[in-house]
Structure 1
Amino acid sequence: MATFFLIIIYLAFISLGLPDSLLGVAWPAMQPEYGARLETAGLLFMTIAGSTIISSLASGIVIHKFGTGKVTFVSVLMTAAALLGFTYAPSLLWLVIFAIPLGLGAGSVDAALNNYVATHYKAHHMSWLHCFWGVGATLGPIIMAQFISEQNAWRNGYFAIAGIQFALVIILFFSLPLWDKVASRSNNVANEDKDAANTSADENVRNIKPLKIRGVKLALLSFLFYCGAEATMGLWGSSFLVSVKDLPVEVAARWVSLYYGGITVGRLITGFITLKVRNKMLIRGGQIIALIGALFLLLPLTTIFSLVGFILVGLGLAPIFPSMLHETPTRFSKEHSQTIIGYQMAFAYTGSTFLPPLFGFIASHSTIKLFPLFIVLFVVSMLLVSEKLNKHLRKKHLSLPSISNSSAS
């Protein structure tokens, strides 16, 4: 039963990824229909991401009161209804209105499923969970591109994704009784793993406030710049390809799907090599690969190098987010890891909420050609902050035990 139920959870995470990449690839077709400015997509994205932050912060209380199963069911229902709303939205105001439940639903699903898998399943399932998010994020642009290529029907693309979400809603409804059963069967194993991980930490570390631990603020900045790079690529990549590289909208959408495909494949590969390669090496290697991909976009090379650049950036970003989360207990002690991971997720959402719209505002008042430069700046900033953090950690000489890997979206 646990394996079958895990498949349902994986399907839910595919549904979480499906809407994430839609707005960016559909916007070049949506913009002229609404007569909107370029940066309007950034405002919509900010509305979705801001709502996600709110629901994530409130998810602990909501999940404790109603349970993971019910929260997941209602959240996916909200996202499905919001996507259906996008399909029929007659004006920009309605897009903003429907962006709110889309973000609220996504944040609750993300927090609920990550917590459930971390509590009731072995740690390696977390890596595969985020790989399935990448499957959804990759399929989203492919589906949208197919409909855009047919009479520029971006609304039909949203309708198709909404239909997939409603199908999952039905599955989740009939699976509601299984959530508590699976949880009760796996609690013993989860508790054993937790007891093994909760070894005593240094008393000095235990008494320090999390934000005062050396290096924590640098770690927070790493998450900020990571999500800034990842979200900016997804939101503005298609507009860059259409406006600067003169690609058709549907072709640009497919290229962006390859970017998300790079993240998906990269996380799948990372899941196999985490036992052989340390998190620090995965983080550094991913940042270097992402930087090379961003330079391919920045340099005056032929169009095919832009495609290679999108794929390389995706492959490079793939291991960074989960590896940084994995490393948190080792970096800052298990006593504070849960609190610090919460801070990190807040900074991650802040990066994805404000940095892409910031670029959209700048591009609207200058040129979209600055897109590769901003990606390079975000990746370089992340690399420099990460290396400075490693330097601080070497000086701390804290002997903290490591724990098995787990990740968040």
Structure 2
Amino acid sequence: MYSILLALIYLAFISLGLPDALLGSAWPVMYPMFNVPISLAGLITMVISVGTIISSLNTSRLIRKFGTGMITSISVMLTALALFGFSISDSFWMLVVWSIPYGLGAGAVDAALNSFVAEHYSSRHMSWLHAFWGVGASAGPYMMSYALISRNSWEYGYSSVGIIQIGLTFLLLMSLPIWKKQSELSAQKKIGHHHLKISEALKIKGVKHILIAFFAYCALEATTGLWASTYLVIHKGIQAEIAARWASLFYLGITGGRFLSGFISERLGNRNMIRIGLILIAIGLIVILIPSEIEIITLLGLIVTGLGCAPIYPSIIHETPTSFGAQNAQSIIGIQMASAYVGTTLMPPLFGVLGDYVSISLYPIYLLILLFIIWNMTEKLNKIVTQNAN
């Protein structure tokens, strides 16, 4: 039964990743069509993130009432509806409206499945789980690139992903008896969770540090993915269709890195995996900073940055029960997701404003600042957890 659920969770995370890179890949073509500034891509991601924050903060309560399987099914269905909505949008404000159900669906499934895997599976599976998210995030730009080249239609890219989401929704609905059985087994083992309010969680030592780290990490990852194509087009002079494909290399680096992390994470431990990831991100961003007309250098920088991002998210999530107690993990993971999405909401749009009014060339410098914040907060958390253990 664990194997069946794990396969479904992997499929769900592929589905979760597929739409994430679509906007960044298509935006160089979309914004002239809607006659809006480049920076308004940030408004769409902001609306999506607000929805994810709301659903993440309520996931623990919803799971206790409806179960992980039902919440996951409904969430995927909402994202499918939103993607079809994107594909028929004929104005920018329609995109904004359809961003609402997309955000609500994405936040709930993310928090629910992360909590489930952190509780029931090893760090190896947590890494591979997020690798499957990377499979989706890497495939999304390729699907959009195909839609732009063969159909000259970004709308086709969104509708194609929507069809895949509908198929997954049916699979998840059919699997509800398996989720129910797992819930009964957990009850027999007396696996319980405390529902913590935000104010209660913040009183636990180290929680503030991990929330700031998660804020900065997801800000870094989202900003990198959203603005990579635009940076390549405007600053490097690469054609939009090619840039959309190259931007996927960042997600390809994340995906490959997470598959590799699964083989070594249990040996090295979550803390060391985070440190290694941050060092690789620093190397990748420095490479992107190098002023060179040799395009392969920028591509290598994106890949190395993706490799560095690979272990950080799953390692932080999987370490949560160890750092703050298994009974608090579900609530804290939900709050972590919300903090992460606040970073996703605020920081990519902020860079869009900087790109508009200062220069898009600030892209790698902006990311390096976020990197420093992550390093500082995770190292402080490690000291707190070590002191508490002693």
Identity across aligned pairs (percent)? 48
Larger deviation, residues 271-280 vs 99-108: 271-280
Match of 1:385 in 2: 377
Aligned residue for 1:116, secondary structure, equals: helix
Q: 1:399 to 1:387 in 2, by over 3 A?
A: closer
**How far, CA to CA, are the matches of 2:34 and 2:25 in structure 1?**
16
Match of 2:195 in 1: none
CA RMSD, Structure 1 to Structure 2 (Å): 2.6
Q: Is the 8 A contact 2:69 2:176 kept in 1?
A: yes
Matches within 5 A, 1:135-174: 135-174=135-174
**How far, CA to CA, are the matches of 1:144 and 1:229 in structure 2?**
23
- Give the deviation of 1:23 after TM superposition: 0.8
- Give the deviation of 1:123 after TM superposition: 5.7
**What one-letter code is carried by the residue in structure 1 that aligns with 2:265?**
T
Q: Is the 8 A contact 2:60 2:331 kept in 1?
A: no
Report whether the alignment pairs 1:33 with 2:24.
no
**How far, CA to CA, are the matches of 1:212 and 1:61 in structure 2?**
20
Match of 1:47 in 2: 47
Aligned residue for 1:275, secondary structure, equals: helix
- Give the deviation of 1:231 after TM superposition: 0.5
Larger deviation, residues 273-282 vs 235-244: 273-282
Report whether the alignment pairs 1:372 with 2:364.
yes
- Give the deviation of 1:155 after TM superposition: 0.8
Unaligned runs of 5+ in 1: 196-207, 401-409
Instruction: Report Cα offsets for 1:84-112 as digits up to 9, x if no partner.
Output: 11111010111111000011111121122
Q: Which has the larger radius of gyration?
A: 1
Match of 1:404 in 2: none
Aligned residue for 2:250, secondary structure, equals: helix
Aligned residue for 1:324, secondary structure, equals: helix
Match of 2:389 in 1: 399
Match of 1:62 in 2: 62
Matches within 5 A, 1:207-222: 210-222=201-213
- Give the deviation of 1:330 after TM superposition: 4.3
Q: Is the 8 A contact 1:120 1:187 kept in 2?
A: no
Q: Is the 8 A contact 2:79 2:102 kept in 1?
A: yes
Aligned residue for 2:267, secondary structure, equals: coil
**How far, CA to CA, are the matches of 2:86 and 2:32 in structure 1?**
16
Q: 1:391 to 1:234 in 2, by over 3 A?
A: same
Q: 1:150 to 1:71 in 2, by over 3 A?
A: same
Report whether the alignment pairs 1:238 with 2:229.
yes
Match of 1:311 in 2: 303
Q: 1:357 to 1:121 in 2, by over 3 A?
A: same
**How far, CA to CA, are the matches of 2:308 and 2:56 in structure 1?**
26
Q: 1:384 to 1:63 in 2, by over 3 A?
A: closer
Match of 2:15 in 1: 15
Q: Is the 8 A contact 1:148 1:249 kept in 2?
A: no
Q: Is the 8 A contact 2:57 2:335 kept in 1?
A: no
Q: As a proportion of its length, which structure holds more helix?
A: 2
TM-score normalised by L of structure 2: 0.90
Match of 1:268 in 2: 259
Q: Is the 8 A contact 1:120 1:186 kept in 2?
A: no
- Give the deviation of 1:169 after TM superposition: 1.9
- Give the deviation of 1:262 after TM superposition: 1.0
Count of matched residue positions in the alignment of Structure 1 and Structure 2:
385
**Aligned with 2:349 (options 341, 353, 357):** 357
- Give the deviation of 1:386 after TM superposition: 3.1
Q: 1:345 to 1:74 in 2, by over 3 A?
A: closer
Q: 1:213 to 1:64 in 2, by over 3 A?
A: closer
Instruction: Report Cα offsets for 1:316-336 as digits up to 9, x if no partner.
Output: 011112222333444455575
- Give the deviation of 1:385 after TM superposition: 3.3
Q: Is the 8 A contact 2:219 2:347 kept in 1?
A: yes
- Give the deviation of 1:43 after TM superposition: 0.2
**How far, CA to CA, are the matches of 1:183 and 1:391 in structure 2?**
35
**How far, CA to CA, are the matches of 1:187 and 1:117 in structure 2?**
17
**How far, CA to CA, are the matches of 2:88 and 2:200 in structure 1?**
49
Larger deviation, residues 251-260 vs 40-49: 251-260
Instruction: Report Cα offsets for 1:285-314 as digits up to 9, x if no partner.
Output: 111110110111112133211101111111
Matches within 5 A, 1:218-229: 218-229=209-220
**What one-letter code is carried by the residue in structure 1 that aligns with 2:375?**
L
**How far, CA to CA, are the matches of 2:109 and 2:326 in structure 1?**
25
Q: 1:93 to 1:248 in 2, by over 3 A?
A: same
- Give the deviation of 1:151 after TM superposition: 4.7
**How far, CA to CA, are the matches of 1:94 and 1:132 in structure 2?**
30
Unaligned runs of 5+ in 2: 193-198
**How far, CA to CA, are the matches of 2:124 and 2:273 in structure 1?**
16
Larger deviation, residues 33-42 vs 121-130: 121-130
